[in-house]
Every structure is written in structure tokens, then in C-alpha cells.
Structure 1
């Protein structure tokens, strides 16, 4: 009766270890614990499984006649909980007990020893592991296969592959597939090629691989170039008659997903249960990674239909697929499902939803998701990118400043996105703050961040700081060189861009299409026609870089601005027929605007309309301006009528400046600024001083059929002039450079005024329009009036 009760209690404990304390109390009341070491060990095992080492230790100490299994259970449990010191202490006591007892349990010694070694492996405690290896020799256990496997696993996790190989070579159990699998797993961490060769050797010597071996090997095949090896492995498995279990099926699906074996993925799709969340998620991820988004979505929908509950990882992947396929309604349904199942708390799901709504321009919905995840760094990065993508730069900057003022400590990725946002808005102050923060946090060697800082300082007009960052990078990459070349190009320093082009090759970097675009842009802004021709010829002939539409457009722009409109038209006509990009015709239309050529401008506009399949708003604006410039008011009326007919509107000019970390924006004829009286007073004062220097307003740039006096007033109230006057009033005592940004091209009259004001006020003026920088100093401009 007592024996049956002990047996029933032990069986009950194995099924329900959480009620160990109840069984413990019941056994004490019936006097069973003292008489049954078997029951005591089962209760200790249940306590260890919870884990509750305090009660386990109390019971262990109360046992009057402990055996080796008692020690083994405590050692294995403590080792699994990474309490190595306590486990080692028990092991020492176990060895003493072994010396004192004649009737010892060798199996318990081995299990305890192996458990302690595995714990050292998890903790990366190489030193203790080596000591235990030595003790295995003293105990005469060095030839045990179970212990050898534990030692190999220890050395594998500590990165000691040679030691792992020595244990393997010294083991007499080299016909054991487990030992071979452990060695293969060790090589996978450092040399995947050798791991595959080792697998072939294992088969060659007649050791039969198990499902675990194939599952381990599948992890090494994770690139498209290894698809043939993946198929070979699968063939071996089939020939050996190994039927995939859940783990092996998951390994095969993951392997083919990473190797690009879409056909094999399709065949494996019926291998497991659609309700298996891990297998279905891996299958979906495989299709999505290889560009089969719709198939991946179908797998996801089948998961839902089978009542398999996707985790955050699967949900984030599905939402990403909905975004790629422009399936907003499904994305919103996934949002609702995530809320119901509390998956929204998963950072990956939050990021995916923000990106989804960003793709559709639904900024407020993206912001609502972010407000739930406001503390998550990844979500902050996503919302910052969302604001930038949708042109809400001021709000992005405000959020960034609020974060900085709150003691923000970003990771390197978020800091890079923040720097990019500052570059887009030319927010120098915020950019410098983020830069200082990254230095304090030790991100100085993060290359992507350094490259973004080059671009940021370049777009903020601080070319010297961009050069300093570039010069400080210890190990540049091609993006570093391209970023610096682009900075020179947009500041009009074409020759400096060319020098850097040759220098990067000396340093061992090969120019790509971005490099050539930067050099050609620099040549275009500096009027280096012949140099640009030479580079354009060398692109394909010497560097094997195929010119893209952007490169052709750059050449058309260069020729057009140099007055060679017919040649520019011929170049655009030659390439434009086979290109879907309207960039060349846009460039030609801009050149026609400069030189007042209505005929070619009209032809360019026709080509633009054909290519875009719709009326091109910027093109109509330019055509309207060309017509007005030469007095062809009927042509202007026709262009404006076409705009009204298609519901198109011209983008208004916006100029902005940053003073004491705050952005001030201006539009033409602005009446909303609180300092409006001072601004207009300053403009009138400047006009008088400019006229004394011989300035005459270039009223031909005002494309309205009005009197000269009205045109002069309109010119005086251009947004860039208002911004200039405001800075002069707000910083009257300062001699710091004036930085003005604008979303459109600078007009000829504003360019002339800024040159003269730089001489009158003795201030350096840095002006960035939609295409390039102009640096005005002492009455001259860096563009050379080109």
C-alpha cells in the first residue's frame, strides 16, 4: 500500500510539478519522505523545475541518506539556472560522497558532471569548464559519450573549435551521430564551408545522420548562392528515409526561404499543420523575403482561418507585406487584430504599422500608433522617418528637440535618422545637438552616422564641418566619398569634386553611378562643359557604369545652361524616346526658361505631357513664365488655363531661416509675421542703399502684365528677401554667416540683391535653393553668376 502511494505521488509530481509543496506536506504527514529516497528525489526534482531552490535545498539537507541521484538533480537544476558556483559546491560534495561510499551510482556522477559543464557553456565560463574537463580524467569518465558531447558543446559555445575537435578525436564513440552533430554545429559558428565538408565525411565513414543533424546543417545554408547545397542536403535526407518532424520541417522551410528556393517552399507548404504557428510564420517569411508578397499574404490568411494565433513577429511581417502591396484595408484590419490580441505592445508591430500608414500618407494614424509606443526607440525612428517622407519636417524637428531636451539617449540607428531629418530641414542647431549627443554616447566610429553627418553639414551650408567629418573617418566607404563629392557639387565647387573623384580611386574605391552623378552635377553648377563631356564618355567606356536618366538629364541641363539649347534638345530626343523618365525634358524646359526659348520649351512640355500621361504642373508653370518673360501673354494664359482645367496648383515659394534653434518661414508678400513692420522697413532701407550702388530691379522676372512700379514692389516682397531682412533685423549686432533655405530656384533679381547686401552689410550669406548653394561674400557669389 505504501509502495503504491509513493508510486502514485511520484507520477502525480511528474505531471504537476507546481504542486510539489502539497505533495511534500502530504508525504510528511504520512511519514513517507524518511522511508523513500525515491519520493524525496522526485519532490526535489519538482522544486528545481519550478524553480524553487530554497525549498529544494531544505529538503535535500533533511534527507538522512542521500544518494548520488539527489546530488545529480541539485547540480543539474542549479547549472540550468546558471548558478555555477552553487552547482560546483554540490559537485565537490558528490565526489567526497563517492570516495566514502562503495556502492556508488556512476550514471548520476556523469549526469551531474555533464549538467555542470553545460551550465559553464551557457555562461561562457571557459576556465571552470576546463577544470571540469580535467576532473573527468581524474574520475575516469573521459571516454563517456554523453560527457564528451557536453564538453564539445562547452568548447563550441566558448569559440574554442580546436579544443572541440580534440575532444572529438579523443573519443572512442566516433560512430555516434550525436558527437558528429555537435562537431558540425561547432564549425557552423566559424566556418560553414568546413561544416558541410564535415557532414559529407560523416556520411562517407558510414555514420547515419539523424533529423537533428539535418536540422543543424540546414542552419548553415542561409544564402541564395547555397541553394544547390540546400537541395543536395534535402536529397540526402529523402534517400535516408528520414521523415521530417516539426523541428526538421521548420529547419527546411527556413533554409529554402533564406536560399531563395521558392519552388521548394511551395512543395513544402503542405508538409506540416497550417495551425503550426512557427512553421506557417517561417513559410510566410520565406515567400515575403523572395518577393512573393501575395503568396505570403495567402499563407497568413490561412493561419488566421485555421485559428493559429500569429505572434508579433508574424504580424509585423504581414503588415509589411500589406504595405508593399498597397493593401491599406487589410493593414487596418491587422491593426485592429493587433489591438484585440495586445500584439500592439510588440515593438516590431508598432514599427510596421507606422511604416504602413506612412506609405499611404496617413500621418495622424501613424502618430496615434506612436503615442502608444512613445518610449520605444524603434518606433520613434519610424515616426521620424514618416514625418520626413510626408514633408512634415517642422513637426519632426519639434519632436526631435523635445526628445533631446528630455535627456534622450538614442541608439546609433535612430541618431542617423535624426541627423537625416536635420539635413532635410537644414536645421543646423538641432543637427549640432544630435552630433554632440552621439559623441557623448560614443558613436564616433559608426560609419552610417558619420556619412549622414557629412550630408547634414553639407545641406546646412557648413562645408568646412563636412570636410572635417570626412577627414576624421578612419575607414571610409564608397558612401563617404560620394557624400563629400555631392557636398562639393551642390556648393558649386566642381573642380574640388573632380579632385576627390580621382583621389577616391587612389584609395582603392571604384566610382559608381552615384559618384558620376555628383561629379556631373558639380560640373553643371560650375559650367565645366568640356570636363563633363569627358566624364560622361568615360562612364561606360572606362568604368563600365551604364548612364541612367539622371546622368542624361544632368548633361542636358549642363548644355542648356551653357546656351547650347539645340544640342541639349538633340541629346534629350536621342535618349528620351526609350526612357520612361521625364527628367531630361524637365532639364531642357528649365534651360529654355533661362534663355527665353518658347519654341523649344513648348516641345519639351509636349514630351513631358506624353511621358507623364498627365499635365505636368511644374512644366506648365515654367512655360507660363517663359511666355510672360518675352511678352507672349496669350501663351501664359493658355498654360494657366491648362493648369486650372486639370486642377493643378503651383507650389508656393517658401524660404526659412534658423535663429537660436527656432525655424522662421516666409512666403511671398507675407503679411502674417509679427515683425512685419520691421522687415518691410529694413527692405525699404536696403532698396535705397542698393540703388545708390547702381541696382536696377530686374522686373522681367515678374510674370504679370502690370506696371513697372507694381513689379518692383512684388520683387521686393519675394520670400527670400523677407527672410534676409528678418535675419538682418534679428541679428543686427552679429557678424555670423546668414543662412537662408528655399524650396524653389532663386530668381535673378534676388541673386543680385544678395550679392550687393553681402557687401553693404559686411555679412557672409549662404543661400540654398532647390538645386544648389550660393555663397555671397563681399559682392560676389560662389556660382560666378553662372
Structure 2
């Protein structure tokens, strides 16, 4: 065996070796005279992660007699590295000078391969301009329908967002192999458009009918389309097709199948697959996400624990996913444990993981912790700002939410629509009409005032700021409404003493065929309670489950207790509490306590107050109610004893607070003013 052959064999057997080392050794030993060896060295530069296009070009200049394979390999090296300028330059040299023996009948075939390599580089770099130039070159050379060139063109146009052009090229082909068909299926599956997904399924069926057998990657791309429960039957059919064709389920395809069944609600299939495939970190993460998507968040957390026990090398996406499961369950303790794990293993530099932590702490009412995570982030994206703004909104922190929104604008960040609607809702929390009007004006200037979520937020804001007429006018001007729009106005009417208008609006909502939700009936029942419409309120409560299939929640039971209590039917309220399907909470007892105070039933006040004291021993509200009741009945000794108990327990009435806006200061400055004592 000659020395160049020995070096070539060594280069192929030792795949981890740096090709630059072999390059240097071959220079010393004088082996660069072998074109075959040099081509192998160029190939190593092309495929190994340590490849450097400049070194490949240097080697090209040192080869005494380069052939077409030599030039093709260097062009491929530049294209894979994203250096399209040099790749195109070399291709032009080949086309203009017939370099490397590319002449006569041998001219088109290698240049089709070179064109395909450059087009593949354009797809990787998403460079449509150069890709169009290469397409024109392919047409001039007459190789547009070459299977390799056509496949790369389909992929390039798909990645550059020109899916219709990909379809045109595919439809013009007279013949194609599995790679070409897989390229068009991949292009359509990654488009994100429902109509194109259906086209992809149709093309896959044609592929089977024409006897072109799909490969693993065809199915990996196809299963992305199957993303909702109603497609579970199709998902099983595709899986069955794989089994019939004898497709071997490798790690990538196994993970894709688990993810597919998770999106389609097939948890039984997910569990069976997880027992049969080789589980790597991607498969474990797919299993974890599948449990989350189907509401099994505790199972998702247990999957993560098992990954840690089996020493699976988890990544930041896995940790972010399990934090999302903790957020859904509002499991603060488990979330804090995972936060500590991420801190110990240096994962907190990942933006998505930090965003998930902010969401977790927001859902668990830990505002300070969410702020700390946000402040410690080195890099923030728009989701980071949105997560903290949502945290403030979920916890009623309207002032900080508005200040954060203003900071976004000052930093030159263009807030998404969700942030804008969140800032408007924050204005409704603190009833800041001037700030709400400013943000409304901004939505008009930026052209997002007709977005449905923005319009719904504006209705809520104007209603809560006391301008119910503006809210109604805005509601009437909307071209599209959803249930949130109706709920916002119904609640606004109810809160401002227009209960009959709220009930009339609910009637209009029913006539228009809008399906009410839980929040709708909360506003309706509150309106009935304030009007004293006991029979009508009971009827709405029955209709809620009988006609609309909505299971009443604690808030609805509290509304019914308040309905009976305000009408003076205190014992009917007690009977209603006793037949509730779950244990009454503080909200229920407080609703009854307020009614007992109104109607002066001291015995029932003592009973209900005792219940609240047992639930929250440090809450002063039941003691204050008892003290007030005793004072109204001139029972001063008992009033004094209740106040003594409060004093001994260290309880005191929290001072009342009101929001005001400074008249001589900027309108976006919010202040608090104490207006009461203990």
C-alpha cells in the first residue's frame, strides 16, 4: 500500500482526527501529488465539525491536478459553512472554464450536483436572492428537473417561505425519488398552514399509491401535522403504515411519535411507545410534554424525577417544560426545587427557562421572586417582559404593570398585542382612566385598536373606570365579538348598578347564539342577587348546568348564598350551603356573614364568624363584624370582649386606601392615600 493510500485509510478509520493535522503531515511527506488522497482530505474538511473552508481552499490551490470531484467537494464545503459568495464564485469558474475535466457528456451531471450543493447552502442560510440565481442557472443548464436539484430547490423555497413555488417545482417533475417526495412533505409540514397540511397528507397518499416507499425522515416530518385530538385516528393510520412498511423506529422517529400522540390525546399509545423505544433525552422530554398537554402535570413532574434518578442528561428545554407543569399545578415547592437544580447545573442562562420561572412565580403569587429572576436575566426577550407583565396582572399589581409597560416603551421594545391588552387591564385594576386613554390612543396610532383582545380590554377598562356609556359605545362599534366581549359589558353593568341592563344583555347574548361560560353566569347571578330576583337567579343556576353543561364553581355557589342572604332567606342560604357538593370555603361564609349583618341575625353571625375564625385565625374581619353587631344592639360589654380578643391576638383593622392621580404632576404617576384608621 502506497503512503498516500495509508494516510487516506488512517483518515477514514480515525474519524475524530483533525484533518488539518493530516494535511500538515502529507505536506511534509510529499503526498499531495495524489488527487485521490487530496479529494479524501477535502471530504474530511467538508463533513467534520472542525472543518475550515479557508483550509479547504488552501488545499485546493496545492493540488497539482484537481478533477471535478475536487472542485465539487470544495464548493460543498463552502456551501455547508454558509459562505455562499465563495461557493458561487467557484461554481462560476467551473461553468465558464470547464475546469477539472468537466467536458462534453460529462459536463451536466457533476454541475447538477454542484448546483444542488449551493442551493442547499442557500436553504440553510435562507438566502432567497442567491437561491433564485441558482434556480435560473439550473434552468439554463437544463438540470431543473434533476431529482437532486429539484429536491434542494423545494427545500430552499420552503425554508424561505415560498411554499407555493416549492409545490410548482414538485408538480412539474415527471419523476422523483423518496428524497424529493420527502422534501415536499417536509416543506408543507413546516409551513404551519392548515390547507398545506392537508395537501401534505394527500401527497403522502399519492406517494404510497405510486409505489415510492417513504423513509424514516418522511414520517418524522409527516407526524408534525397531526397535532390535535380529532386527528388521533389519522395518527394511528400513519403509525400503522409505518409498521406495515417495516420502518425501523429509531430514536428520532420514536420521539416524534410520542410527541404526535401527546398532541392528539393518545396517552395510552404514548405510554406503550415509551416502553418500546430507546429513550434518550429527546424521547423523555417528549413524554414529559405529552403528559403536560393532556393535563397530567403530576405525571410530567414524576417523569422528570425519573430522568434525574436514571441520570439522563437533561437540557434546558426539559427543565423549562417541567417548570411549566409546576406552574399549571401552582406547585410552588416543587418549582423551587427545580429552580435550585437549574441554578446548581448552570442552566439559568437560558432565556426560555427563566421565562418559565417568572410564569411559575406569577401563578403562585410570588411577585418578588418573579422580579428577581427578571432582573438577574442577562438577556431578555419579548416573552420575558410579557411574563412579568402577566405576573403583575394576575396578582392585581396594576401600578407596577403600567410602569413596566412604560419601561418597555422607553427601552425601544415594541410590545406585542398581548402586552398592550395587559397594560390596558392594569389600568382597569387601578381605575386609571387617563393612563387607559393614553394607551388607547397608542393602539389607534399603531393600528391594533381593532384587535379583539385589545377591544375587550378597553371595554373592561372603561367600565371599571366608571364610564359605562363609553364601554357600551365601544361594544356596539365592534365588528367581531366573542364571549369575553359580552362578559366584560355584563360585568360592567352589574358593577355600576345597571343590573337589569346586564340581564337584558344576557338575553340578547342568548338570542344571538353566543355560548356563555362560567364568568358570564357569575355576572348574571350577581345582578339577580342585587335586584333580589331569587326565583330568576335559581333558574339561571339550573340552566347553567342543564342547558349549557357548565359545572358550577365555588364562585357561583357564593353568588347563590349571597342571593338568598340579601333577600333575607338566611336559613335557605344555610340549607343551600349544606347540600353543596364540596366543602364551603371562606368566600362562601363571608357572603353569608355580610347578609347576616344586614338583617341583624346575631346568632347566625356568631356561627358564621366562628367558621371563618377556624379557617383563618389571624383574620380580623369576623371579629370586626361581631363588634359592629354588638355595638348596633348596645351590647357594649360583648363589644369590648371581642376587641380585647383582637388586641390579645395582635389583630387590627388594616387602614383603607384609595388611588389618586396627582393633579400638578405627570398623569402617569400613581399615589396611594390612607383614608382610614384602625
Is 1:291 matched with 2:299?
Answer: no
From 452, 460, 464, the equivalent of 2:457 is 452
Cα separation, 2, equivalents of 1:116 and 1:11: 25
Is 1:280 matched with 2:284?
Answer: yes
Deviates more, 1:636-645 or 1:82-91: 636-645
From the superposition, tell whether residues 31 and 200 of structure 1 become closer, same or farther in structure 2 (CA, over 3 Å): same
Is 1:104 matched with 2:97?
Answer: no
Is 1:184 matched with 2:189?
Answer: no
The alpha-carbon deviation at position 343 of structure 1 amounts to: 0.8
Is 1:4 matched with 2:5?
Answer: yes
Is 1:663 matched with 2:668?
Answer: no
The alpha-carbon deviation at position 497 of structure 1 amounts to: 3.4
Cα separation, 2, equivalents of 1:450 and 1:311: 40
From the superposition, tell whether residues 264 and 651 of structure 1 become closer, same or farther in structure 2 (CA, over 3 Å): farther
Cα separation, 2, equivalents of 1:154 and 1:402: 40
The alpha-carbon deviation at position 194 of structure 1 amounts to: 4.8
The alpha-carbon deviation at position 553 of structure 1 amounts to: 4.3
Is 1:302 matched with 2:310?
Answer: no
The alpha-carbon deviation at position 379 of structure 1 amounts to: 3.8
Cα separation, 2, equivalents of 1:479 and 1:640: 45
* Matched residue, 1:350: 354
8 Å CA contact retained: 2:108, 2:143: no
* Matched residue, 2:41: 42
From the superposition, tell whether residues 293 and 520 of structure 1 become closer, same or farther in structure 2 (CA, over 3 Å): closer
Q: Helix, strand or coil: the match of 2:283? A: helix
* Matched residue, 2:632: 629
The alpha-carbon deviation at position 663 of structure 1 amounts to: 0.9
| Deviation sequence 1:158-187 (CA, Å, 0-9, x none) | 4545863763574334xx433443343344
The alpha-carbon deviation at position 316 of structure 1 amounts to: 1.6
Q: Helix, strand or coil: the match of 1:665? A: strand
Q: Helix, strand or coil: the match of 1:456? A: helix
Q: Structure 1 length normalisation: TM-score? A: 0.70
Cα separation, 2, equivalents of 1:645 and 1:441: 58
8 Å CA contact retained: 2:120, 2:156: yes
Higher Cα Rg, which structure: 1
Cα separation, 2, equivalents of 1:477 and 1:327: 32
Cα separation, 1, equivalents of 2:250 and 2:535: 68
| Deviation sequence 1:422-449 (CA, Å, 0-9, x none) | 4323344555555556566654454334
8 Å CA contact retained: 1:152, 1:168: no
Deviates more, 1:357-366 or 1:481-490: 357-366
The alpha-carbon deviation at position 375 of structure 1 amounts to: 5.6
Cα separation, 1, equivalents of 2:55 and 2:376: 42
Q: Structure 2 length normalisation: TM-score? A: 0.80
From the superposition, tell whether residues 645 and 257 of structure 1 become closer, same or farther in structure 2 (CA, over 3 Å): farther
Cα separation, 1, equivalents of 2:447 and 2:64: 58
Structure 2 matches for 1:329-348, cutoff 5 A? 330-348=334-352
The alpha-carbon deviation at position 569 of structure 1 amounts to: 4.7
From the superposition, tell whether residues 579 and 40 of structure 1 become closer, same or farther in structure 2 (CA, over 3 Å): closer
Cα separation, 1, equivalents of 2:158 and 2:405: 45
The alpha-carbon deviation at position 202 of structure 1 amounts to: 4.1
| Deviation sequence 1:210-232 (CA, Å, 0-9, x none) | 32233233222222233333333
The alpha-carbon deviation at position 518 of structure 1 amounts to: 2.6
Cα separation, 2, equivalents of 1:412 and 1:573: 47
Structure 2 matches for 1:520-559, cutoff 5 A? 520-522=525-527, 524-525=529-530, 550-551=555-556, 553-554=558-559, 557=562
Cα separation, 1, equivalents of 2:561 and 2:309: 56
The alpha-carbon deviation at position 490 of structure 1 amounts to: 1.4
Cα separation, 1, equivalents of 2:108 and 2:14: 25
From 594, 607, 618, the equivalent of 1:590 is 594
Is 1:256 matched with 2:255?
Answer: no
> What residue ranges of structure 1 are gaps of 5+ in the alignment?
671-786
From 198, 208, 221, the equivalent of 1:216 is 221
From the superposition, tell whether residues 79 and 469 of structure 1 become closer, same or farther in structure 2 (CA, over 3 Å): farther
Cα separation, 2, equivalents of 1:638 and 1:229: 72
Q: Helix, strand or coil: the match of 2:671? A: strand
8 Å CA contact retained: 1:223, 1:258: yes
* Matched residue, 1:750: none
From the superposition, tell whether residues 117 and 355 of structure 1 become closer, same or farther in structure 2 (CA, over 3 Å): closer
From the superposition, tell whether residues 107 and 14 of structure 1 become closer, same or farther in structure 2 (CA, over 3 Å): farther
Cα separation, 2, equivalents of 1:149 and 1:442: 41
> What residue ranges of structure 2 are gaps of 5+ in the alignment?
none
Q: Helix, strand or coil: the match of 2:290? A: helix
* Matched residue, 2:568: 565
From the superposition, tell whether residues 313 and 540 of structure 1 become closer, same or farther in structure 2 (CA, over 3 Å): closer
The alpha-carbon deviation at position 279 of structure 1 amounts to: 1.9
Cα separation, 1, equivalents of 2:108 and 2:555: 76
| Deviation sequence 1:333-385 (CA, Å, 0-9, x none) | 43333223321111222233334445555554444323312762444444444
8 Å CA contact retained: 2:408, 2:415: no
| Deviation sequence 1:386-427 (CA, Å, 0-9, x none) | 455556666666666666666665343344444434432334
| Deviation sequence 1:132-169 (CA, Å, 0-9, x none) | 55655654546643334334434544454586376357
The alpha-carbon deviation at position 258 of structure 1 amounts to: 1.8
Cα separation, 2, equivalents of 1:401 and 1:126: 38
Structure 2 matches for 1:460-539, cutoff 5 A? 460-463=465-468, 466-467=471-472, 470=475, 473-498=478-503, 500-501=505-506, 509-522=514-527, 524-525=529-530
From the superposition, tell whether residues 467 and 13 of structure 1 become closer, same or farther in structure 2 (CA, over 3 Å): farther
Q: Helix, strand or coil: the match of 1:518? A: helix
The alpha-carbon deviation at position 465 of structure 1 amounts to: 5.4
8 Å CA contact retained: 1:164, 1:183: yes
- Larger RCO (CA under 8 A, 6+ residues apart): 1
| Deviation sequence 1:472-530 (CA, Å, 0-9, x none) | 65543321232233223212233443554455567664433423433443455567789
Number of aligned residue pairs: give it.
661
* Matched residue, 1:153: 155
* Matched residue, 1:728: none
8 Å CA contact retained: 1:489, 1:523: no
Cα separation, 2, equivalents of 1:201 and 1:608: 68
